[in-house]
Structure 1
Amino acid sequence: MNKSKIFAFSAFSLSAALLLTACGNSVSKSEDSAQEAKYSFASNILTLDTSMAADVNSIDVLLNVDAGLVRWNPKAQVVNDLAKSIDISKDGKTYNVTLRDGLKWSNGAKLRAADFVYGWQRTVDPKTGSQYAYALTPVANASEIMTGKKPVDTLGIKAESDTKLVITLATPTPYFNKLLTLPAYYPVNEAFVKKMGNKYGTSSDTSLYNGAFKFVKGKNNWTGSNETFSIVKNDQFYDAKNVKLSGATYQIVNNPNTAVNLFKSGKLDVANLATPELVSANKKNKDYKALTSPRIDVLEYNQSGKVPELSNLKIRQALNLATNRKNLLEIAAPSFSITNTVTPKKLDQAPNGEDFATYAAQPYKYDATKAAELFKEGLKELGKTSITLELEGANDNSFAKAAVDYLKGNLEKDLPGLTINEKLVSSAQRQKDAQNNNFQILLTSWGADYNEPSDFLMNFVSGSTMNHGLVKNPNFDKAYQAATTAPDVLSADKRYAHYKDAENALYEAANVNPLATESVSLLLNPKLKGISTYNSAMIFDLRHAEIAK
């Protein structure tokens, strides 16, 4: 879900070819080409609009062409970026921000504090339709604006001058600095947005940049659908002197075997080993790396009422109990690990030092006998002897394709009377279906935007823009509210205890079916230096990257 933060790298959408273009008259063509990094994605990016970006590939590009007040450093620590300083009041509710001097947009326009005000207001404005709007909930009046109860200009962010911002929170939020890494919190140039109108962010020519890199019109730019596009060093960036790459070219390579062949022929610097066969065949390669991934795969159930079968508790419980996670992963992703929370493993630690996924683990298990009993009872409550449900997944995602196929057989075998219809669509269509609640059962992959349980738990809050299944669980809402508002938000022990209660509420109501925490196996060019291998998400951050001679 984002990437100037602990971005979750999709194990199935990595193949980015970064060809760099020359930047600066003092750089020769030979030196320039030597500083070309090569990456690829398995599917195209969907937008360059920071308010609207919700897919991992778009965010992986945005983290290089845009910037916010803060960013993640290579050790996954939050550090200032466009902000020169951030002073926080004793009560934790007021943030006084001073921007760096001389900040500019890629067109030379001055980047002002007012651009942050407009960007945040635009994200929370219901008219925008941002999936990430809910991430701004800690900001004063954000919730009321999103529900239409207050105008956007009441949002708790004010520009006192071109370089001074005052941010007011509705409640103290100890992890607010991590939230600030999200693209939804980036600045946006109002004049440019109004000039572009509905075309804003739909191509590189209708977008504006303030990051270490930029798109350049006429230089292999992104049209919205083309499968090769390039970024170049942004000479207007405040820290341009420390950016070593001259640019990068992203190539869409949807066949994992092709990506590996391109890597071995020197045409890619990174290749994702997206299938068990590729991992096995390349594990002894000197360029092989296995990285942790802050990403989880789950089955979302549509609980809007449009699918009566999935509004039945016993049917959902039966589906969860009938899911043979062990066999699923052995067949589809041996390097993934079974997870008993909706938060991935190794995301965060509870106050007692345990991994949060261990601390808050719920008794999700495979029990075919109990599952069949509950399914039969559920059918009786529905007045039916059989039901048909649709399971949707991404056809450009290696794990998703294999998982959907396995789960059809698994669930139909263990739940007599159930028919599963497979629906495989592009990642872009799957994203649209999720946002529009146009699915029955959806195989979803969520990546971390920041390393705190709220990042994943907010996906189930009633009314959240990220609540695709339209879950309404009062016990969950109560626990989440207690964890994220004063006074308990200020006590780590209480906050994490509430998070655990929230996980339990989801388990008891079978609102979701957690499957696995991902890991990523890949081939990485040893000459590509300066990228962080802290986790699989951060290898896309090119701010300090360079190609060693």
Structure 2
Amino acid sequence: MKKWILSLLLVLVTGSALAGCYGGGADDSSKGDKVEKGNIKQEIVVNASSEPPAIDPAKATDTTSGWVLDHIFEGLYTRDKDGKPVLGAAKDVKTSDDGKTYTFTLRDDAKWSDGSQVTAGDFEYAWKRVLNPETGSAFSFYLYYIKGAEEYNKGKGKVENVGVTAVDDKTLEVELNAPLGYFDSLLTLWTFYPVQQKLVESNDNWAADANTYISNGPFKMTEWKHESNVVIEKNNEYYDKDVVKLDKVTFKIVNEATTYYQMFKTGELDLISTLPSDVLATEKDNEDYREEPYYGTYMYMFNVKKEPFTNAKVRKAFAMSIDRKALTENVTLGGETPAYAMVPEGAETPEGDFRKVGGDYFEENATEAKKLLAEGMAEEGWSKLPEVTLLYNTAENHKKIAEAVQEMIDQNLGVKLKLSNQEWGTYLETTKQGNFQMARMGWIGIFVDPVVNLDYYLGDSPNNRTGWVNKEYDSIIAKSKVEQDVNKRYELLHQAEKILMTDMPFMPVNFYKYNYLTNPDFENIAYYVNRYPQFKWAEKTK
């Protein structure tokens, strides 16, 4: 094992994940002419690593699509530089005495990028579009806090009974099933962004082409060359345009780490988030380098409906057979920490950090893993383990981790994994259809709370691609969402995680940490704990 580790070409682990995610002063020209600070172009070029599968608020589930959406749209709430929720398209909100009804008043100057008014009706339409079963939104469950939302989405209720109502053009009323202390944070998720009703209804493909795209955020999409780049430019119809210094942001799509690292070094890219490991030690001493916590979990899902992962002991055997410490210290190298549960570090509770309170649910033990594998095979009547293929999305870092896991499982279990990879969009569709045995996945919390991590494995969550359904787990999560006693709420979430980690429909690998190289000529880029960097306030100074 040591010899193999030393000979392995090592790469930092980052890459596309799902989320369960950003000279010149302000442009003071009504015509949108570019303003420069001296002769400094206010433009930044960053690497997005993969093609965004869906730049549509109702359909996006991944961090890459979310990165673009977070720049070109804005919800009732948005985030400040520190990532805290603040009012966005809404200028005021009132809450009923029982905490279940919110009345939002929209800003008078909330405009679409075509200059038309953003209305409460656009929000009502957008949210009900997410819930419409025909839309097929994988994030519709995030709206289940709203009265009648779950029933409508599951075909058991009517759209008119959903508790979202545009009282008039400026007033939106939202009725919840129960008070929700993190409702403001929830509303910063792109799933709650508005869409222009007349546009969406007139063009089914409005979100696939920059020429037909209309949004309401600090930037607007002006170009989308599929598999090449996405370009967004300053939106002069945005009410807070004076804080936006950049005229243009280009998201390049380059998934080879060595390639985009060289592009950064030659000045073709201003920001990247994955480094080849052979340069990481050197780069850590440079002013370009920064390391940021990232509230998410890197894991391998098991399809519990496909052999051999129909057996819980086999699943646990695989989870116990890899050396996470060796992976984080010798393969990923980005400051990640080994994961022995679903919820990462960073979620504070009255008793302390949720992860530290809950502790680890298993430990690595090759001897015990072999024993469990043998027991599982005997239970199924297998004299030989069915062939296993590990699927991952195409990226150099995922390949290196998969190769390391392949070697560890071979050495510790005597099981020879096959490896297979697919482009991100194809990969998402493949896993959605359940056409895999074991597959890589990452899940980033939309805000820092254990419930958003545990929601991933709800039985009716479209993001749960494992086929695993546990009614007790679902029931406990549901109770936690209406529990008003904070201590009891976290106690319920610990109970749910214990059930999840007992059945183990997945094997956690590590808790994320993101590493960036950023051109030091740029200031005021906001690095969020659960989203990619935000460029709303960024400025090139030299």
Measure how far apart 1:543 and its partner are.
1.4
Which of 395, 405, 408 does residue 406 from structure 2 map onto? Answer: 408
Measure how far apart 1:247 and its partner are.
1.7
**Which residue number in structure 2 is paired with residue 208 of structure 1?**
214
Quickly say closer, same or farther: Cα 1:434–1:351, change in 2 above 3 A.
Answer: farther
Tell whether the 8 Å contact from 1:12 to 1:399 is kept in structure 2 after alignment. yes
Measure how far apart 1:399 and its partner are.
2.9
**Which residue number in structure 1 is paired with residue 113 of structure 2?**
106
What is the rounded CA distance, in whole Å, between the counterparts of 1:435 and 1:206 in structure 2?
28
Tell whether the 8 Å contact from 1:20 to 1:32 is kept in structure 2 after alignment. no
Q: Aligned ranges for residues 245-324 of structure 1 at < 5 Å?
A: 245-303=246-304, 305=305, 307-324=306-323
Tell whether the 8 Å contact from 2:50 to 2:227 is kept in structure 1 after alignment. no
Tell whether the 8 Å contact from 2:459 to 2:470 is kept in structure 1 after alignment. yes
**Which residue number in structure 2 is paired with residue 368 of structure 1?**
366
Quickly say closer, same or farther: Cα 1:423–1:21, change in 2 above 3 A.
Answer: farther
What is the rounded CA distance, in whole Å, between the counterparts of 2:28 and 2:382 in structure 1?
67
Tell whether the 8 Å contact from 1:392 to 1:423 is kept in structure 2 after alignment. yes
Measure how far apart 1:458 and its partner are.
0.5
What is the rounded CA distance, in whole Å, between the counterparts of 2:269 and 2:130 in structure 1?
35
What is the DSSP-based 3-state SS (H/G/I as helix, E as strand, rest coil) of the residue aligned with 1:464? Answer: coil
One-letter code aligned to 1:207:
Y
**Which residue number in structure 2 is paired with residue 526 of structure 1?**
520
What is the rounded CA distance, in whole Å, between the counterparts of 1:125 and 1:154 in structure 2?
13
**Which residue number in structure 1 is paired with residue 195 of structure 2?**
188
**Which residue number in structure 2 is paired with residue 461 of structure 1?**
458
**Which residue number in structure 2 is paired with residue 137 of structure 1?**
144
Verify: 1:451 aligned to 2:451, yes or no: no
Which of 43, 47, 51 does residue 36 from structure 1 map onto? Answer: 43
Which of 96, 117, 121 does residue 128 from structure 2 map onto? Answer: 121
What is the DSSP-based 3-state SS (H/G/I as helix, E as strand, rest coil) of the residue aligned with 1:419? Answer: coil
**Which residue number in structure 1 is paired with residue 393 of structure 2?**
394
One-letter code aligned to 2:228:
E
What is the rounded CA distance, in whole Å, between the counterparts of 1:153 and 1:175 in structure 2?
25
What is the rounded CA distance, in whole Å, between the counterparts of 2:28 and 2:47 in structure 1?
22
Q: Aligned ranges for residues 446-525 of structure 1 at < 5 Å?
A: 446-485=443-482, 489-525=483-519
Tell whether the 8 Å contact from 2:26 to 2:241 is kept in structure 1 after alignment. no
What is the rounded CA distance, in whole Å, between the counterparts of 1:389 and 1:160 in structure 2?
55
What is the rounded CA distance, in whole Å, between the counterparts of 2:530 and 2:462 in structure 1?
26
Quickly say closer, same or farther: Cα 1:89–1:462, change in 2 above 3 A.
Answer: same
Deviations for 1:173-203, whole angstroms, at most 9, x for unmatched residues? 2111111011111111121012112x13122
What is the DSSP-based 3-state SS (H/G/I as helix, E as strand, rest coil) of the residue aligned with 2:430? Answer: helix
Quickly say closer, same or farther: Cα 1:28–1:458, change in 2 above 3 A.
Answer: closer
One-letter code aligned to 1:377:
E
Quickly say closer, same or farther: Cα 1:517–1:20, change in 2 above 3 A.
Answer: farther
Tell whether the 8 Å contact from 2:324 to 2:509 is kept in structure 1 after alignment. yes
**Which residue number in structure 2 is paired with residue 544 of structure 1?**
537
Tell whether the 8 Å contact from 1:463 to 1:470 is kept in structure 2 after alignment. no
**Which residue number in structure 1 is paired with residue 14 of structure 2?**
11
Quickly say closer, same or farther: Cα 1:32–1:189, change in 2 above 3 A.
Answer: farther
Measure how far apart 1:262 and its partner are.
2.5
Quickly say closer, same or farther: Cα 1:498–1:275, change in 2 above 3 A.
Answer: farther
**Which residue number in structure 2 is paired with residue 6 of structure 1?**
none
What is the rounded CA distance, in whole Å, between the counterparts of 1:438 and 1:407 in structure 2?
21
Deviations for 1:473-493, whole angstroms, at most 9, x for unmatched residues? 2332232122112xxx21110
Tell whether the 8 Å contact from 2:49 to 2:255 is kept in structure 1 after alignment. yes
Verify: 1:74 aligned to 2:81, yes or no: yes
What is the rounded CA distance, in whole Å, between the counterparts of 1:313 and 1:30 in structure 2?
61
Deviant stretches of 4+, over 6 Å: 19-23
The Cα RMSD (Å) is 2.4
**Which residue number in structure 2 is paired with residue 170 of structure 1?**
177
What is the DSSP-based 3-state SS (H/G/I as helix, E as strand, rest coil) of the residue aligned with 2:497? Answer: helix
**Which residue number in structure 1 is paired with residue 160 of structure 2?**
153
What is the rounded CA distance, in whole Å, between the counterparts of 1:405 and 1:226 in structure 2?
26
Quickly say closer, same or farther: Cα 1:27–1:309, change in 2 above 3 A.
Answer: closer
Aligned length, in residue pairs: 522
Quickly say closer, same or farther: Cα 1:124–1:20, change in 2 above 3 A.
Answer: farther
Measure how far apart 1:149 and its partner are.
0.4
Measure how far apart 1:363 and its partner are.
2.4
Measure how far apart 1:278 and its partner are.
2.7
What is the rounded CA distance, in whole Å, between the counterparts of 1:207 and 1:278 in structure 2?
40
Quickly say closer, same or farther: Cα 1:227–1:356, change in 2 above 3 A.
Answer: same
What is the DSSP-based 3-state SS (H/G/I as helix, E as strand, rest coil) of the residue aligned with 1:117? Answer: helix
What is the rounded CA distance, in whole Å, between the counterparts of 2:457 and 2:274 in structure 1?
32
What is the rounded CA distance, in whole Å, between the counterparts of 1:150 and 1:474 in structure 2?
22
Tell whether the 8 Å contact from 2:16 to 2:442 is kept in structure 1 after alignment. no
One-letter code aligned to 2:268:
K
Quickly say closer, same or farther: Cα 1:318–1:28, change in 2 above 3 A.
Answer: closer
Deviations for 1:492-515, whole angstroms, at most 9, x for unmatched residues? 101111111111111111222111
Tell whether the 8 Å contact from 2:28 to 2:242 is kept in structure 1 after alignment. no
What is the DSSP-based 3-state SS (H/G/I as helix, E as strand, rest coil) of the residue aligned with 2:296? Answer: strand
What is the rounded CA distance, in whole Å, between the counterparts of 2:419 and 2:100 in structure 1?
48
Which of 378, 381, 403 does residue 380 from structure 1 map onto? Answer: 378
What is the rounded CA distance, in whole Å, between the counterparts of 1:412 and 1:10 in structure 2?
21
What is the rounded CA distance, in whole Å, between the counterparts of 2:36 and 2:359 in structure 1?
55
What is the DSSP-based 3-state SS (H/G/I as helix, E as strand, rest coil) of the residue aligned with 1:90? Answer: coil
Range with bigger deviation, 23-32 or 132-141: 23-32
What is the rounded CA distance, in whole Å, between the counterparts of 1:171 and 1:214 in structure 2?
36
TM-score of the superposition, structure 2-length normalised? 0.91
Tell whether the 8 Å contact from 1:273 to 1:279 is kept in structure 2 after alignment. no
**Which residue number in structure 2 is paired with residue 330 of structure 1?**
329
Tell whether the 8 Å contact from 2:93 to 2:105 is kept in structure 1 after alignment. yes
Identical positions, percent: 26
Tell whether the 8 Å contact from 1:21 to 1:32 is kept in structure 2 after alignment. no
Quickly say closer, same or farther: Cα 1:536–1:111, change in 2 above 3 A.
Answer: closer
Return 5+ residue gaps in structure 2 as ranges: 1-11
One-letter code aligned to 1:501:
Q
**Which residue number in structure 1 is paired with residue 6 of structure 2?**
none
Quickly say closer, same or farther: Cα 1:262–1:340, change in 2 above 3 A.
Answer: same
Tell whether the 8 Å contact from 2:297 to 2:342 is kept in structure 1 after alignment. yes
What is the rounded CA distance, in whole Å, between the counterparts of 1:42 and 1:329 in structure 2?
21
Tell whether the 8 Å contact from 2:261 to 2:276 is kept in structure 1 after alignment. no
